[in-house]
Amino acid sequence: MGLAAAGIVDVDPVLRHFGARKEIARKEFRRFVMVGIKRGHRNEFYLADEGQILGSEEFVEAMIHRLGQTPRRGKDIYRITNPVTTFDAAALVQAVAKNYGVAREKICSRGKNMRLMRAKEAMILVGRRLGATVKELSNLVNISISGVSRRHDNARRRVQEDEAFKLATNQIEQEYHRITNSK
């Protein structure tokens, strides 16, 4: 990431993921690498050279927060995913609009009133549950990638603390499924 000077590599933190004893950890690491080799060449592993972040959802979000909106070297940040389901952005917008009584155009605008921001947070939370990427949601709600990530964190906390918000997100998700199943 270029955030710290490269120094001597400490292998112990990595090996600890594979076992408590070095001998077992090295054996398991070797097996892990061999499984990866058998999978063959994967182009997405080389996207880091282009300034993209490769990793789990949690890792990518942590890096977005750490780097902020503008990554080093002026590169864009993209999450590498293999979506299992097809995300229907129009159905999500329709479900949120119905639940919050907000026009579809407003949800996708840069507006910032309280009701609209709650609707956007609900849409981001439900969208992530449904498999939407942060990039897709950023484009959909017209908020930066790091802003979407922050809104997602806020929404996750709000669901724990606010029963009405939790109910709203569940209703949005149910409406989304009703819409997509009727197509």
Domains, the chain, ranges and CATH?
Answer: 9-40 (no CATH), 47-82 (no CATH), 89-182 (1.10.1750.10)
Judge whether 65 and 55 are in contact, CB under 8 Å: no
Alpha carbons 62 and 77: distance in angstroms, whole number? 12
pLDDT the model gives residue 81:
44
Residue range 23-74, pLDDT digits in tens: 888 888 888 788 777 777 766 666 655 566 767 667 777 777 776 644 444 4
Alpha carbons 134 and 128: distance in angstroms, whole number? 8
Band (pLDDT 50/70/90 cuts) for residue 78 is: very low
**Mean pLDDT throughout 166-183?**
91
Taking 90 as the threshold, does the pLDDT of residue 175 lie above it? yes
Q: Compute, in degrees rounded to 10, the torsion defined by CA atoms 120, 123, 127, 128.
A: 60
Residues 6+ apart with CB under 8 A from 93: 104, 107, 108, 123, 140
pTM check: above 0.85: no
Band (pLDDT 50/70/90 cuts) for residue 75 is: very low
Alpha carbons 43 and 55: distance in angstroms, whole number? 14
What residue has token string 């197509």? 183
Alpha carbons 143 and 138: distance in angstroms, whole number? 5
Band (pLDDT 50/70/90 cuts) for residue 131 is: confident
The mean pLDDT value of the chain amounts to 78
Alpha carbons 136 and 65: distance in angstroms, whole number? 18
Cα-to-chain-centroid distance, residue 144 = 13
